Amino acid sequence: MTNPVSRREFLNLLGAYGGTSAVLQAGAALGFMPSSSQAAEITLQANNGKKVAILGTGISALTTAWELTKAGYGCTLLEASHRPGGRMFTVRSGTVIDEIGNYQRCEWDNDPHLYFNAGAARIPSIHSNVLKYCKELEVELQVFVNESKTAWVQDDAMNGGKPVRNTDYSSSMQGFISEMLSKALGDSQLDSSLTESESEILLSMLRRFGDLNEDMLYKGSTRAGYGSGGFLDHGTKKDVVALRDLLKARNGGSVMVTTQEGTGSGPLLMQPVGGMDRIIYAFANRLRDRIKFRAPVTEVMVRGDGVEVAYEQNGVTEVLKADYCFNCIPSHLMSGIPNNFPTDYSEALNYIRRGRAYKAAFQAKERFWEKENIYGGITWVNAPIQQIWYPPHNIHGKKGVVLAAYNFGGANYTEMSQEDRIEDLLKHGEKVHPNYREMAEKPMTIAWHRMNHMLGCAPRWARDRGGWSDKEEQMYETLRQPVNGRHYLIGDQSTQHSAWMESAIQSAHHALADLDQRVRSEPA
């Protein structure tokens, strides 16, 4: 192979990021688990008979209702949709996807293994509050395989458009990165901050990380699988793919980071047996008659001594009077509901933008991926479908549901017809699996930007990718304070890490703690 990145270029690059000294100083943080590794203990003052109106039935609302009900509060939940859960939505035989202008009814086989988590789909082991409720409510969990080295990486620009195995890509990339870094280690600019023994340890790690030879060069690795043999005969290494060829894939970043667990990804994640909505129904089935379905809120008025919420059900407008209100209605929908919120509160609500995520899935006639030695994980495709997921459960079963697209930015799918969406996922999928089109039964798609009563996926606060502005921080704090001590905004929209159930639950806990402190300080 040629040497596509010169040592000088590489060192310049390191210099641009401040060399290694900054990294070394971060050592003090080692040993700490990421935040939220401890589940909160909720201890609300018991049984005060107060009434609470809860708007929406997303997981923040259900958490709130569950904790308040246990403490003796009288809760009523108003849900605009026919189902609970918001963006925790599982599609299976009989499910209606009420996307506006694109209703779909799922006609897959009626089998508990055949489901598609159209919203939240993965639980990291550090999301302790999600896990705490799964345990408390007896929701059975199983391991979700987020990365499979036998899954594929496909880009029209790489390898003539033919897919390469994840392991071919990632082990080669690890090899080249290790080789370049080990060359750089000899340079005084880099190793001045390392002692001799640190350098030795780093080199030894790099040799193994990259599977380098004795000369610290990457000459291929059996980690990518054998070219031939390997069991009855000696295995032979595959040919080395040139770095320059690997660099043609533009989705390599995604391939290389799926095993990092810090903020939610990871090699080991979890999922409830039977679908993510098992968590939702574990709450909802216990709350039962407290939930009013198809009851959209039409007005929210915060008064001195409580909150009045108007809602419509069966064509009739009703008013619910409560002492407190917890509201997880998406901010962009709340802007269309008459209310008497203070101006700065309304401005902050109007500011939050709605995400555009898109997912699609189909029932596969056969578990064709297993014939390709794939038993879970993600194939990365450099096309708007971006990802193909293989079900890690019911291995060797008859059929399975393949997630055929997951675009967190939504691409152009929101405006596309169902027919065009299906053709798009088949067209890109068959570049990876030649029999894909033949295997796909009854594809279902979901563009969250068009979902009735949702109109968006994860809320987006920061307009600048670089981070939150002071103004945004200020608006966020405004929404974290209850209006008149009576109205609380909850959900991942009132957190700084949207798109995760853990965030939504923590927003509920934050609001509950504030409520409890207010109730406790009231004169007896």
Partner 1 sequence: MKKLMAPTTLFLSVLCSATSLAAEGDIGVAAAMDDRYCTTCHGVEGLGNIAIEAPRLAGMEAWYLKRQLENFRAGIRGKHGEDLQGNAMRPMAAKLSDESITDIVDWIGDWEYVPAKTTIEGNVRQGRTAFQACAACHGANAQGNEALGAPALAGQNDWYLLTQLRNFRAGFRGSHQEDTFGSQMVTMSKILRDDQAVINVVSYINTL
Show the CA angle centred on residue 409, arms to residues 104 and 443, nearest 5°.
25
Instruction: Tell me if 184 contacts partner 1 by CB under 8 A.
Output: no
- CA dist., res. 89 & res. 279, Å (int): 10
221 vs 493, beta carbon nearer partner 1: 493
**What residues have CB less than 8 Å from 64, skipping those under 6 apart?**
52, 54, 75, 326, 490, 508, 511, 512
Q: CB 226: neighbour CB atoms within 10 A? A: 14
Closest alpha carbon to 370 in 341, 390, 349, 343 = 390
416 vs 515, beta carbon nearer partner 1: 416
- Binder to partner 1 among 7, 82, 471, 518 (CB under 8 A)? 82
CA torsion through residues 481, 485, 487, 491, sign: positive
Instruction: Tell me if 95 contacts partner 1 by CB under 8 A.
Output: yes
Q: Give the x-and-dash track for 340-359 against partner 1 (CB under 8 A).
A: ---------xx-x-x-----
3-state helix, strand, coil in the chain (%, to 5): 35, 20, 45
Q: Using N-to-C axis directions, what is the helix angle for 166-185 and 196-210, rounded to 10°?
A: 160
**What residues have CB less than 8 Å from 86, skipping those under 6 apart?**
56, 57, 58, 59, 119, 328, 454, 491
Which stretch in 84-92, 137-145, 252-260, 477-485 sits in contact with partner 1 by CB under 8 A? 84-92
81 vs 178, beta carbon nearer partner 1: 81
Which stretch in 254-262, 279-287, 397-405, 477-485 sits in contact with partner 1 by CB under 8 A? 279-287
Backbone angles phi, psi at 192, to 5 degrees: -60, -25
Instruction: Tell me if 333 contacts partner 1 by CB under 8 A.
Output: yes
Which stretch in 47-55, 242-250, 446-454, 484-492 sits in contact with partner 1 by CB under 8 A? 446-454
DSSP class of residue 58 equals S
- Binder to partner 1 among 50, 165, 238, 332 (CB under 8 A)? 332
293 vs 375, beta carbon nearer partner 1: 293
237 vs 294, beta carbon nearer partner 1: 294
Q: Which residues from 407-436 bind partner 1, rule CB under 8 A?
A: 414-417
Query: Measured in whole angstroms, how far is the alpha carbon of residue 356 from the centre of its chain?
Result: 13
Instruction: Tell me if 524 contacts partner 1 by CB under 8 A.
Output: no
Which residues contact partner 1 (rule: CB under 8 A)?
80-84, 90, 92-96, 98, 100-103, 105, 112, 274, 277, 281, 284-285, 288, 291, 293-294, 296, 298-299, 312, 315-317, 331-338, 349-350, 352, 354, 414-417, 449-450, 452-453, 455
